[in-house]
Chains A and B, each alone.
Chain A
Amino acid sequence: DVKVTQSSRYLVKRTGEKVFLECVQDMDHENMFWYRQDPGLGLRLIYFSYDVKMKEKGDIPEGYSVSREKKERFSLILESASTNQTSMYLCASSLRPGGGGYEQYFGPGTRLTVT
């Protein structure tokens, strides 16, 4: 079974802090993704990575950066956390399609509260 793990289920941080959210997958997937989920707005893509050290912006990258130093690990970084970044963060991974799509698998999510 594919397993995607996230470093924390719940996290509380203060405004201005630097926050790291970690995601690890064990299936040698090329693609990894970070989404956030907000009531009324659904799930939106923040960033994705299709290979080590490669990244592309998603739909809402402002205020975030990412790091992928190893294939199995994809980190989301909030450089200076703000209250509007309070949200549920979901990591996902998939194989890299060669012209078709591949099933995406999600981690359990991190509920981040910024006070």
Chain B
Amino acid sequence: GIQVEQSPPDLILQEGANSTLRCNFSDSVNNLQWFHQNPWGQLINLFYIPSGTKQNGRLSATTVATERYSLLYISSSQTTDSGVYFCAVAYGGATNKLIFGTGTLLAVQP
């Protein structure tokens, strides 16, 4: 099956710093999503981005489908950005089953 790898596994930042999270996947996909899991466990949708570039405030994402990777950029990080960031992909068929990466644990220190 398809493999999804995220890097780095852990990241510690000072407030105000920028960061880039990476997601590599091993096959063609028709869905790629970035999520932020908050301390209460809820998965918050950040981007639905099977290809191209999107921006939402301080966050932006780019997926290069032909090279099988996606990047999530966080600029001017805040302590509320802390948590786990997941990349998830779906491929083939009509079922839209998501395969999740192992996540990046981000800690933003004041």
Contacts and interface: CB of A to CB of B under 8 A. Distances in A.
9 contacts: A42-B101, A96-B94, A100-B31, A100-B50, A103-B48, A104-B33, A106-B35, A106-B43, A108-B41
Contacts of A45: 97-98
Contact of A104 (B94, B98, B102): B98
Contacts of A37: 41
A70 B16 CA distance: 47
Interface of A: 31, 33, 37, 42-43, 45, 48, 50, 56, 58, 88, 90, 92, 94, 96-109, 111
A88 B84 CA distance: 15
Nearest to A50: B95
Contacts of B96: 31, 94, 96-97, 101-102, 104
Contacts of A100: 30-31, 50
Give the interface size bracket for B toward A: 20 to 34
A51 B40 CA distance: 30
A109 B13 CA distance: 28
A109 B37 CA distance: 11
B102 A42 contact: yes
B30 A43 contact: no
Given A42-B102, A101-B31, A101-B50, A48 B97 contact: yes
A105 B88 CA distance: 12
B30 A97 contact: yes
A106 B30 contact: no
A108 B43 CA distance: 7
Contacts of B101: 42
Contact of A56 (B50, B95, B100, B102): B95
Given A45-B98, A50-B94, A88 B41 contact: yes
